[in-house]
């Protein structure tokens, strides 16, 4: 305990002694930094402020935040903050956790250390077999997810990627088997495809694994399990870069309502050792979305979005290797993702604007968190570095190794050739 206190004291001392460029506000035990401060750090000179909102920008790069809101926009793409903004000294402030785990890797994805080259895309069609997923008037989620994945596979292969599928037919594959399958491929990324359900909700949303210490947006609140370091957390920076590339592509290609990029601990993105993302490509429960999902044209558009996501991710993290043949959206000057050209043609029912809580699939709680609540204090492992001009202040709760060299788990099975997808297995808990 004394060691922890010592580390904490040293950390705080270093923040205030050397972090002259940052003004850190502490609110309810959590550190926040003003948008003005963040603008200065990223060299975004233009600051537009109203009473409720602030936009900082330079050319096409922009960050937008609202007072006491979890909605946050980077280059007009919507993200849901892990903690709503606060107002201190009349300034809208963002949590240090969100700065380190969201804004920084999205704004500077090429700064992600040791992002490995990828040669394989693992596509995961949700549900299957007895597990239909969400139903619409036109058909089951399992069928649309598989069709989308098969279309994406064809496009990716045509672009020169190796593609493997966790399922290639209408059979059930337990979540753990999907994870084991994905973990056979060290030089791969994992993309799960689902369709949403929940009342009249509409639009697309993208899930990235919640960093350690961050509550899942699918849970009722903070949980002790939030403090557990999951396998996937070794890939926090790549996860958010992949999710950003995916969400930008989804919004741009489909023109669906942008529900935002959110955090969760779905099993398939929690336990994999490679960068992963879970896409919710529209609402089966909404007649407008459901009818569109049932059209081959929409699913082909989703497949194109997946190809663009992979291409943009590779470019964003600057991973070497086979250059994709397809043109990409991102510009050289902006390492992140401009979606200003993507109009949202639909409006939501309003629920999205109020709370970051996501509407998940109708197939049960897809999150693995225990529901027991606990104070989400940074009670150990404080490795918070002093903020500098080249690095944002480190997050106390964050996994200390996340931005360092990520370690792959050794593949458990040597697979010179792509193994067959896992075959039909016994029913297990419904989950993603
Ligand atoms: Zn689903």
- Placement of tokens 């672009």 in the chain: 159
Give Cβ neighbours of residue 233 (< 8 Å, ≥ 6 apart): 209, 211, 212, 399, 402
- What tokens appear for 268 in the block? 């398939």
Place of tokens 């098969």: 150
Task: Compute the distance from residue 227 Cα to the ligand 1 centre, in Å.
Answer: 26
Q: CA-CA distances (angstroms) from residue 105 to 239, 314, 336?
A: 9, 14, 9
C-alpha of residue 428 to centroid of ligand 1, in Å:
15
Q: How many CB atoms lie within 10 A of CB 329?
A: 18
- Alpha-carbon distances of 402 from 100, 170, 341, rounded to whole Å: 10, 37, 32
CA 282 vs. chain centroid, Å, equals 17
Ligand 1 centroid to 267 CA: how many Å?
Answer: 12
* d(CA 385, ligand 1 centre) in Å: 39
Cα of 431 to ligand 1 centre, how many Å?
8
Say how many Å lie between the CA of residue 131 and the centre of ligand 1.
9
Ligand 1: centre distance to CA 346 (Å): 22
- Return the structure tokens found at 258: 């942008």
Q: How far is the CA of 76 from the centre of ligand 1 (A)?
A: 27
Report the separation in Å between the CA atom of 164 and the middle of ligand 1, taken as the mean of its atom positions.
19
β-bridge mates for residue 132, sequence order:
none
> How many CB atoms within 10 Å of residue 429?
11
Which has the closest alpha carbon to 52: 71, 38, 33? Answer: 71
> What is the 380 CA–ligand 1 centroid distance (Å)?
35
Pick the CATH number of 1-326+334-432 from 3.20.80.10, 3.40.630.40, 3.40.50.10860, 1.10.472.50: 3.40.630.40
- What pLDDT shows up at residue 170? 98
Q: What tens-digit pLDDT sequence spans the chain (432 residues)?
A: 444 444 433 333 333 333 448 999 999 999 999 999 999 999 999 999 998 999 999 998 999 999 999 999 999 999 999 999 999 999 999 999 999 989 998 888 877 777 778 999 999 999 999 999 999 999 999 999 999 999 999 999 999 999 999 999 999 999 999 999 999 999 999 999 999 999 889 999 999 999 998 888 877 677 777 888 899 999 999 999 999 999 999 999 999 999 999 999 999 999 999 999 999 999 999 999 999 999 999 999 999 999 999 999 998 887 554 333 332 232 222 333 433 332 232 323 322 222 222 233 333 333 343 332 222 222 222 223 334 445 655 554 433 232 322 222 222 222 223 334 444 444 444 456
């Amino acid at each position: 305990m004394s060691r922890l206190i010592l580390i904490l004291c040293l950390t705080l001392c270093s923040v205030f002694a050397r972090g002259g460029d940052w003004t850190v506000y502490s609110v309810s035990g959590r550190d926040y930094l003003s948008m003005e401060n963040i603008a200065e750090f990223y060299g975004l000179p233009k600051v537009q402020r109203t009473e409720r909102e602030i936009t900082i920008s330079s050319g096409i790069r922009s960050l937008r935040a609202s007072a006491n809101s979890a909605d946050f926009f980077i280059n007009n793409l919507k993200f849901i903050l892990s903690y709503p903004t606060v107002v201190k000294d009349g300034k809208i402030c963002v949590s240090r956790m969100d700065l380190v785990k969201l804004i920084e890797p999205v704004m500077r994805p090429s700064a992600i250390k040791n992002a490995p080259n990828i040669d394989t895309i693992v596509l995961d069609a949700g549900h299957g077999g007895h597990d239909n997923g969400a139903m619409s008037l036109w058909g089951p989620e399992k069928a649309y997810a598989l069709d989308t994945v098969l279309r994406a596979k064809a496009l990716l292969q045509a672009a020169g990627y190796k593609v493997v599928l966790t399922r290639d037919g209408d059979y059930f594959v337990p979540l753990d088997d999907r994870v084991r399958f994905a973990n056979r491929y060290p030089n791969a990324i994992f993309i799960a495809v689902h369709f949403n359900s929940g009342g009249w909700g509409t639009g697309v949303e993208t899930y990235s694994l919640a960093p350690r210490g961050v509550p899942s947006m699918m849970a009722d609140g903070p949980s002790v399990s939030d403090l557990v370091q999951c396998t996937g957390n070794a890939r926090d920076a790549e996860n958010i870069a992949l999710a950003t590339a995916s969400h930008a592509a989804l919004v741009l290609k489909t023109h669906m309502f942008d529900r935002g990029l959110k955090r969760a601990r779905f099993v398939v993105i929690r336990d994999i050792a490679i960068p992963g993302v879970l896409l919710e490509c529209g609402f089966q429960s909404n007649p407008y979305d459901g009818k569109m999902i049932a059209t081959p044209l929409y699913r082909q558009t989703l497949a194109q979005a997946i190809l663009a996501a992979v291409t943009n991710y590779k470019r964003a993290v600057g991973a070497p290797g086979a250059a994709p043949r397809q043109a990409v959206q991102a510009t050289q000057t902006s390492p992140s993702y401009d979606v200003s050209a993507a109009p949202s043609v639909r409006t939501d029912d309003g629920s999205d604007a109020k709370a970051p809580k996501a509407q998940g699939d109708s197939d049960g709680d897809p999150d693995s968190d225990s529901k027991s609540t606990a104070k989400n204090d940074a009670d150990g492992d404080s490795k918070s570095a002093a903020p500098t001009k080249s690095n944002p202040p480190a997050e106390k709760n964050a996994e200390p190794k996340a931005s360092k060299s990520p370690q792959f788990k050794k593949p458990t099975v040597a697979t010179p050739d792509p193994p067959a997808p896992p075959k039909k297995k016994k029913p297990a808990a419904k989950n993603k």
